[in-house]
């Protein structure tokens, strides 16, 4: 699944399968990766040239808003095993293409070092975005991961967003991978989410009562100028525009393919659990937008190093308590999808060694400089 420059997703594949009483949906992942100069570690504005090279070996990629970003997308998948294999293959192919242009790729949420000036990928749509939103666009070289999960219809996708809202900060904490920006430690585990939140259409989705409510809200944003088109609905959960999937967009691009696989199986289980609750007539938790933003901020700042807002109580809790609540919430869905062992092992590994931000800080300390650390982390997937 991918979105082209006009915001249209491309999806190939088949439908999910039924295991027991659960419908186990298919899923897919988009990863945005950072292109850097192989010598200086400064972002390299080479996405067009790298994309041309990947086409020669059968990997189709998508250019992002700034020329130092490039995106890969998996086909529609059934299992975490297949996901890991495909992610590792696509990252390696992309790394080889970048090397041919004097670059390397890094899985990081923001560029740890910056070039002298901002640049925009030269397409009609991106030039229009740059003209309308100014420095927001020029400073938008951020890299996330988007998980698409099959749902039956658009109305279900919208309702799923309501049910997922309280759990989104934990997903951010697990994947936070952007501690350094412009050569300094930001004090945040996910600086990407802070930069991203400046867009008027970004952040958690509002509570939406129906497809009509969704359409009215999007139309109002377009009328105000908060978006130019539907592809600029940057909410962290949104229905796909052309296909029956719900897209979860809260995360930094994870540091490793195993981290991305953990994210994907957790997201699929969250969607499955939400669909089960929707079918049972269970109302979504009515978490106020300001309270959710506070939880976002805490997850962005601390990641997994301190405390998180508990998704049920809305109060500070230990990381173990918050993540345990998540795992308990989705356990039946994980079992139905055959993902329980993958999720349990992945969660234990992440809590023990830390997220990508922890890895970045550890590597900077060992390498002695941000530039040396970035080069050290390049292509370590």
Q: Give me the DSSP letters along 28-90.
A: EEEEEEEEEETTT-SB---HHHHHHHHHTTT---EE-SSTTEEEEE---BS-HHHHHHHHHHH
The predicted structure's pLDDT at residue 55: 86
Whether 106 maps to a domain, the answer reads yes
* Residue 4 pLDDT exceeds 50: no
Which is more confident, 15 or 374?
374
The predicted structure's pLDDT at residue 257: 97
* Residue 200 pLDDT exceeds 70: yes
* Residue 5 pLDDT exceeds 90: no
Q: Are 5 and 63 in contact (CB under 8 A)?
A: yes
Least confident of 76-80, 246-250, 269-273, 376-380: 376-380
Where does the pLDDT of residue 15 fall: very low under 50, low under 70, confident under 90, or very high at 90 and above?
A: very low
Whether 15 maps to a domain, the answer reads no
Whether 67 maps to a domain, the answer reads yes
* Residue 377 pLDDT exceeds 80: yes
Q: Are 57 and 93 in contact (CB under 8 A)?
A: yes
Where does the pLDDT of residue 210 fall: very low under 50, low under 70, confident under 90, or very high at 90 and above?
A: very high
The predicted structure's pLDDT at residue 280: 95
Whether 2 maps to a domain, the answer reads no
Which is more confident, 366 or 241?
366
CA 88 to chain centre: 17
* Residue 71 pLDDT exceeds 60: yes
Task: Determine the structural domain holding residue 319 and report its residue range.
Answer: 27-377
Q: For residue 58, what are the contacts with CB-CB under 8 A and spacing of at least 6?
A: none
* Residue 129 pLDDT exceeds 70: yes
The predicted structure's pLDDT at residue 362: 97
pLDDT in tens, 18-38: 544 889 999 999 999 999 999
Per cent of the chain over pLDDT 70 is 94
Whether 5 maps to a domain, the answer reads no
Whether 19 maps to a domain, the answer reads no
* Residue 16 pLDDT exceeds 70: no
Q: Mean pLDDT score of the chain, rounded to an integer?
A: 92
pLDDT in tens, 35-47: 999 999 999 999 9
Where does the pLDDT of residue 116 fall: very low under 50, low under 70, confident under 90, or very high at 90 and above?
A: low
Rounded mean pLDDT, 203-217: 96
* 168-175 vs 319-337: helix crossing angle, rounded to 10: 100
Check which CATH number belongs to the domain holding 354 and give it: 3.30.590.20
Question: Count of domains in the chain?
Answer: 1
* Residue 8 pLDDT exceeds 50: no
Q: Taking the CB of residue 330, how many other CB atoms lie within 10 A of it?
A: 25
Whether 4 maps to a domain, the answer reads no
| 186, HSE (Cβ side, Cα atoms, 13 Å) | 27
* Residue 173 pLDDT exceeds 90: yes
CA 230 to chain centre: 18
The predicted structure's pLDDT at residue 234: 96
- Residue whose C-alpha is closest to residue 236's, from 140, 160, 350, 316: 160
Where does the pLDDT of residue 9 fall: very low under 50, low under 70, confident under 90, or very high at 90 and above?
A: very low
Whether 1 maps to a domain, the answer reads no
């Amino acid at each position: 699944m991918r979105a082209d420059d006009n915001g249209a997703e491309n999806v190939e594949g088949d439908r999910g399968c039924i295991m027991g009483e659960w419908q186990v949906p298919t899923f897919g992942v988009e990863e945005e990766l950072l292109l850097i100069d192989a010598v200086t570690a400064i972002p390299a504005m080479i996405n067009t040239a790298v994309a041309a090279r990947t086409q020669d070996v059968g990997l189709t990629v998508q250019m992002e808003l700034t020329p130092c970003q490039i995106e890969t997308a998996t086909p529609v998948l059934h299992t975490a095993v297949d996901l890991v294999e495909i992610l590792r293959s696509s990252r390696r192919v992309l790394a080889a293409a970048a090397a041919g242009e004097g670059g390397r790729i890094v899985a990081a949420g923001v560029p740890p070092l910056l070039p002298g000036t901002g640049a925009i990928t030269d397409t009609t749509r991106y030039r229009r975005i740059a003209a309308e939103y100014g420095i927001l666009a020029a400073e938008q070289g951020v890299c996330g991961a988007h998980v698409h999960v099959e749902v039956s219809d658009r109305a279900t996708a919208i309702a799923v967003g309501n049910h997922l809202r309280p759990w989104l900060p934990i997903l951010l904490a697990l994947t936070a991978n952007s501690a350094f920006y412009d050569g300094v430690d930001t004090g945040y585990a996910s600086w990407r989410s802070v930069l991203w939140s400046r867009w008027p259409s970004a952040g958690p989705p509002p509570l939406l009562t129906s497809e009509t409510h969704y359409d009215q809200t999007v139309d109002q944003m377009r009328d105000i100028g908060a978006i130019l088109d539907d592809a600029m609905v940057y909410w962290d959960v949104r229905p796909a525009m052309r296909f029956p999937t719900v897209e979860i967009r809260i995360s930094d691009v994870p540091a490793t393919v195993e981290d991305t696989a953990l994210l994907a199986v957790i997201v699929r289980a969250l969607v499955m659990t939400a669909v089960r609750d929707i079918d049972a007539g269970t109302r979504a938790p009515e978490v106020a937008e300001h309270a959710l933003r506070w939880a976002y901020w805490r997850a962005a700042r601390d990641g997994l190093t301190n405390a998180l807002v508990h998704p049920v109580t809305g109060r500070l809790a230990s990381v173990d308590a918050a993540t345990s609540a998540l795992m308990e919430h989705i356990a039946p869905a994980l079992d139905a999808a055959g993902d329980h062992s993958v999720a349990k092992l992945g969660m234990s590994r992440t809590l023990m060694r830390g997220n990508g931000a922890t890895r970045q800080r550890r590597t900077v300390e060992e390498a002695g400089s941000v530039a040396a650390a970035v080069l050290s982390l390049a292509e370590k997937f």
